[in-house]
Amino acid sequence: MSSSARPQGSPRRIADSRVEISELVMPEDANILGSVFGGRVMALIDKAGAMVAIRHCRTTVVTASVDSIDFLSPLKLGDIMNFRARLTQVFSSSMEVRVDVFGEDPRTGVRELTTTAFVTMVCLGPEGRPVPAPDLLIETAGEKAEAAEAARRRKLRLARRKNS
């Protein structure tokens, strides 16, 4: 397949590649304050983003960039970490994935948004080179707005890379 050709088949829905992962915060995940290490959260964000991209492409993917990871509040020892990840837009071989992390108090069931991140993943072909990702079917006004914001972030990402 040439690098400019799009894969055959219909565009794929955002819902078809969504991922939800839950993990219990254990002592080995926490620092001396009883909060989760940021690096542990980042690793799970990357894993959730990769699973979304794999589900969309049905091929190997790699992380190209992380635009932002915003830690809003700490996850504590004994909390349940809930990762919700979904595609926001597809650009040729790259895809932006939004990952929201919620902390859940297992005693009350109360959930709080603790972290947000935007990860760019790239579809790879059998030779390990980028290949076009399937098109994304954007179905709702909310998805359309999120796709437009993804395009804005991509423009900034490319400008940063050009100026590096």
pLDDT of 9 reads 62
Residue with tokens 């219909």: 10
> Which pLDDT score is estimated for 63?
97
| Residue 140, C-beta contacts closer than 8 angstroms, at least 6 positions apart | none
**Residues 51, 111: Cα–Cα separation, whole Å:** 23
With 0-12 / 13-18 / 19 or more C-beta atoms within 10 angstroms meaning exposed / middle / buried, residue 114 is: buried
Q: How remote is the C-alpha of 85 from its chain's centroid? A: 5
pLDDT in tens, the chain (164 residues): 444 444 556 799 999 999 999 999 999 999 999 999 999 999 999 999 999 999 999 999 999 999 889 999 999 999 999 999 999 999 999 999 999 999 999 999 999 999 999 999 999 999 999 999 999 999 999 999 999 999 999 998 888 888 87
